[in-house]
Amino acid sequence: MNESTAPAVHVIDHPIVRSRLSLLRQESTDSLHFRQALHDIAKLMVYQMTSDLETEVIAIETPLCPTEGHRLKRPLTLVPILRAGVGLMNGIAEILSEAAVGYIGLYRDEETLEPQCYYSKFPPNLAESDVILVDPMLATGNSSAEGASQLKAAGATRIKFAALIAAPEGIETFHRQHPDIPIYTAHIDEGLNENAYIVPGLGDAGDRYFGTV
């Protein structure tokens, strides 16, 4: 696969992102400060994730005279994978306040170990939208890949994937199934341990965000 067609992985490398990510990793960080740090990173990720969105020219009136303005050409849709994806999505939505929100609920089949969808709800204009799939921990990649498959089955064609932390194994699995979807992440960690947790990671993002540790 040549460079022009290789699946894209964008690491959001920024001093504030690195600082907030260290706070998220710290075991002693409480839920309040965990949420704040996660939202901070999410807002900084938005800048790069949306840099190629198309706009169209519109006529506007300033207090002084008519002029040209711009608006996004297509609607936006955010789709977190429940429940951990909600935290990262909330931070993204603070910037993309006009975005519609869909949801995907997945669980792991204990016999096949494959993700199964128990809930999905999408806006009716998904096929016309720029869609951001959100799951903070790209570990094995199975759930995230299934989430992307659910979106495509519902008609989405312009999809990006946002993950707080990614493991190389998860990136490989995700892009093996969805080479057309770019990944945006704050950091690529070392890999997975024997329990399929990202190392060094930050623990269970959902439990820490919602205070259910």
**pLDDT band, residue 1 (cuts 50/70/90):** very low
What structural domains does the chain harbor?
9-210 (3.40.50.2020)
| Better-predicted residue by pLDDT, 118 or 108 | 118
User: What percentage of the chain has pLDDT greater than the value 90?
Assistant: 87
**pLDDT band, residue 3 (cuts 50/70/90):** very low
For the chain, strand residue ranges (E) read 9-11, 55-61, 66-72, 76-82, 100-101, 103-108, 115-121, 130-134, 137-138, 158-166, 183-188, 191-192, 198-199
Both tokens of residue 111?
């016999």
Both tokens of residue 209?
């965000």
**Cα(122)–Cα(180) distance, integer angstroms:** 21
Model confidence pLDDT, tens digit, residues 150-194: 999 999 999 999 999 999 999 999 999 999 999 999 999 999 999
Partners of residue 106 on adjacent β-strands? 117
Give pLDDT, residue 6.
60
Helix, strand, or coil (residue 91): helix
**pLDDT band, residue 107 (cuts 50/70/90):** confident
